[in-house]
Amino acid sequence: MLFMGDDMNYFVTGATGFIGRFVVERLLRREDATVYVLIRESSRDKFEALKQRLGANDKQLIAVWGDITQAGLTDAATTKKLKGKIDHLFHLAAVYDMNMDDETGDRINNEGTRNVVEFANALGGKVCLQHVSSVAVAGGQWVGNFTEKMFDEGQDTSHPYFRTKFQSEAIVREECQVPWRVYRPGMVVGCSETGEMDKIDGPYYMFPLIKQIRNKVPKWLPLLGLEGGKMPLAPVDYVADAMIEIAHQQGQDGKAFCLIQKPQDSMGRMLEIMFDAAHGPGFARKYPLPELPAVVPGALKETRKVLPLDMAAKQMSRAVGIPLSALGYVRNKAVFDDSQTREALKDTEIRCPQLKDYADKLWTYWETHMDYPRADRRNVARLGGKVVLITGASSGIGLEAAKRFASNGATVVMVARSLDKLEAVAETIRSKGGDARYYSCDLNNLDAIDELSAQVLKDLGRVDILINNAGRSIRRAVLESLDRFHDFERTMQLNYFGCIRLIMNLLPSMVEHNGGQVINISSIGCLSNAARFSAYVASKSALDAYSRCLSAEVKQHNIDISTIYMPLVRTPMIAPTKLYDYAPAWSVDDAADLVLSAAVDRKKRVKTVLGQAAELSYALWPRLNDSVLSRAFQLFPSSTAAKGGGKPEEKLSREGMALAYLLRGSHL
């Protein structure tokens, strides 16, 4: 083990945990810092991953093998070598789980903290213990203000999590013989800069429900909600920054610091913010929860012990996807004071950001990396071992399709321009046991497509399924495009020439392996002949015609050509058209499922009921069809950009809204 001379030395427990990774990262930014981290032998791979993540060398980040549940934490020889050399001991290792049992809480949170305190006492010298507690020390039923100077106020700590957080802080206060400071984070959410999070907890339990409502309820239809209790949130980067800053300040020993957003958002306001981040409907009004007589919470607590009532409560918890203990925050009436924290940070730039300012990052990270699809036995049988290349895989349909193919055993080859986004998605897929590769390519550039094709075939030997998903859409009337011929050229370049270049490069390999499939993501506009989409529909129709001709030529080689006439999907591609906020659209999840089913069943053409009806209508009654589409053209205004700026886009009239729902999923 290496030791540095007069440099700043830190010792961290829980370094590979979520908060711990952010703390260690920031400690290593400090000049001449050496960080010793307590690591179990069974977590050696996590330590190596942490070193790699932080780009740390063996002199900056040093493993101390041991465990907080072990008396003394580590062996006596190591403790002796560390004695008098550690400046700050950050204790983050604990169970942060509202579903924890008493035995786990006592063993890790309480006895673990006692072992850390005894270790700090043994280190002696200049060490200061930085103990990470929680706002949970206030218990689950506290009403009113709970200050940083308050601790043992007779609060209800009957739940294992509340009890052990309270008792572990008491151990620090009563048994620590060296200087100490206590930090009480609230519900720690993802990073306010990147959205990074590592587990479902706190408000994240609500995200699947928000997504379901977002996918089913029109954005223009306002919701009614409940105001609920106060949510003590804090992003992980603020928690780490505040702790490290305060740890290095003079005169803060023996104090507790509450790390939360101030003021606290109510549950209703938090949901409103997250619905907005998810591009879902807003709230027309929020109602306060009705007051319960003081005797009721205690009575409910006792009656829940009755088996049928306990089973009913658990069923309700499973139905909404939120642990019973976490449901208590729906009525939380504790308001946490952070005046000591704000006073300590007043001369710095460290401030806890408001949820509304970073909610979009939390949502995007969750939807991209944490909302992962499940495997299906039938799909695994059809797709397992297949090499699937997906263009436009960094967002929207392509990203969700990549996760679905990977979860069902395929090797996904993701292609897009944004290499950093692809890398992040690939890491997520691999962390779930999938196989993902990624390549950056500008599909507008034919030479780049040639290079991509050659590299993929060199690396993987073949591509079994090619999904031409990347595309460009332009919503602009022809009479508004008379001076914009380049719109037609660039749309054709990506949506047609780029696709067939890739197909033609990969076809020889499919022929060689006597099998394959090309799936082209076309548009319902090719069936409905949507006004304002002449450039887009023409490019997709060209690819459609090419594919129909090709299909007969390659059938003898067991190669299928599939076309999905995709309806309007709520993706980043349609976001600039504010009109679509008021028009019904498919969710990205539904669209990705459509792509997956086309591959599993090797379907020739995939159309929605509306798409089929539109195709039939144009074939049988073309003049009537033109009349309906002409009326739609008049009802649905052009975008501000198409009109050359000026007035913002008009909202839909009632007639327009009715027609939008009649033509649900069409490009308007």
Mean pLDDT of 434-458: 97
State the Cα–Cα distance between residues 434 and 408, nearest whole angstrom.
8
Mean pLDDT of 124-146: 93
Q: Nearest-CA neighbor of 425 among 447, 403, 454, 452?
A: 403
Query: Nearest 5°: phi and psi at 161?
Result: -70, -50
State the Cα–Cα distance between residues 569 and 580, nearest whole angstrom.
10
**Alpha-carbon 41 to chain mean position:** 31
What's the pLDDT at 402? 97
**Are 284 and 224 within 8 A, CB to CB?**
yes
Question: Going by C-beta distance under 8 Å and a sequence separation of 6 or more, which residues neighbour residue 198?
Answer: 18
Token readout for 304 is 């829940």
Token readout for 639 is 């975008």
The angle formed by the CA atoms of residues 127, 79 and 36, to the nearest 5 degrees, is 65
What's the pLDDT at 416? 95
- 3-class secondary structure per residue, 47-67: HHHHHHHHCCCCCCEEEEECC
Q: What is the DSSP letter of 105?
A: I
What's the pLDDT at 300? 45
Mean pLDDT of 245-249: 97
Token readout for 123 is 């280190």
Token readout for 406 is 């990977």
Question: Going by C-beta distance under 8 Å and a sequence separation of 6 or more, which residues neighbour residue 515?
Answer: 464, 557, 558, 559
- pLDDT tens profile 368-411: 999 999 999 999 999 999 999 999 999 999 999 999 999 999 99
State the Cα–Cα distance between residues 135 and 146, nearest whole angstrom.
9
User: Is the model more confident about 135 or about 311?
Assistant: 135
SS3 of residue 504 by DSSP:
helix
Render 271-294 in DSSP notation, one character per residue: HHHHHHHTT---EEEEEPPPP--T
Asked which of 35-44, 49-58, 523-532, 649-658 is least confident by mean pLDDT, the reply is 649-658
State the Cα–Cα distance between residues 140 and 163, nearest whole angstrom.
10
Asked whether the predicted pLDDT for residue 643 surpasses 80, the reply is: no
State the Cα–Cα distance between residues 417 and 415, nearest whole angstrom.
7
Return the residue matching tokens 């093998």. 65
| Dihedral (CA of 348, 352, 357, 362) sign | positive
SS3 of residue 333 by DSSP:
strand
What's the pLDDT at 476? 87
- Cis upstream peptide for 263 (omega within 30°): yes
Active-site positions? 536
Q: What is the DSSP letter of 604?
A: S
- pLDDT tens profile 564-617: 999 888 776 665 555 656 566 788 999 999 999 999 999 999 988 888 888 888
Token readout for 210 is 């928000």
Mean pLDDT of 479-503: 94
- pLDDT tens profile 187-238: 999 999 999 999 888 889 899 999 988 888 877 677 777 777 889 999 999 9
What's the pLDDT at 226? 73
Q: Nearest-CA neighbor of 637 among 622, 623, 655, 625?
A: 655
268-283 CB burial, b ≥16 within 10 A, e <16:
bbbbbbbbbbbebbeb
Asked whether the predicted pLDDT for residue 315 surpasses 70, the reply is: no
State the Cα–Cα distance between residues 215 and 363, nearest whole angstrom.
14
**Are 593 and 635 within 8 A, CB to CB?**
no
Asked which of 87-101, 415-429, 641-655 is least confident by mean pLDDT, the reply is 641-655
The angle formed by the CA atoms of residues 637, 650 and 481, to the nearest 5 degrees, is 35
What's the pLDDT at 581? 62
What domains are defined for the chain?
Answer: 8-361 (3.40.50.720), 372-662 (3.40.50.720)
**Are 349 and 374 within 8 A, CB to CB?**
no
State the Cα–Cα distance between residues 651 and 22, nearest whole angstrom.
45
**Are 506 and 466 within 8 A, CB to CB?**
yes
Question: Going by C-beta distance under 8 Å and a sequence separation of 6 or more, which residues neighbour residue 315?
Answer: none
- pLDDT tens profile 342-367: 999 999 999 999 999 999 999 999 99
Query: Nearest 5°: phi and psi at 22?
Result: -70, -35
Pairing relation of β-strands 283-287 and 223-226? parallel
State the Cα–Cα distance between residues 306 and 303, nearest whole angstrom.
5
What's the pLDDT at 478? 87
Token readout for 271 is 């949901």
What is the number of alpha carbons within 13 Å of residue 167 lying toward its C-beta? 20
What's the pLDDT at 42? 93
Query: Nearest 5°: phi and psi at 296?
Result: -65, -50
Asked whether the predicted pLDDT for residue 1 surpasses 70, the reply is: no
Render 453-488 in DSSP notation, one character per residue: HHHHHHHHS--SEEEE---------GGG-TT-HHHH
Question: Going by C-beta distance under 8 Å and a sequence separation of 6 or more, which residues neighbour residue 394?
Answer: 414, 416, 417, 418, 421, 422, 425
4: confidence class by pLDDT, cuts 50, 70, 90: very low
**Alpha-carbon 620 to chain mean position:** 47
What's the pLDDT at 303? 46
**Are 366 and 198 within 8 A, CB to CB?**
no
Pairing relation of β-strands 230-231 and 265-266? antiparallel
Token readout for 188 is 């720690």
State the Cα–Cα distance between residues 129 and 125, nearest whole angstrom.
12
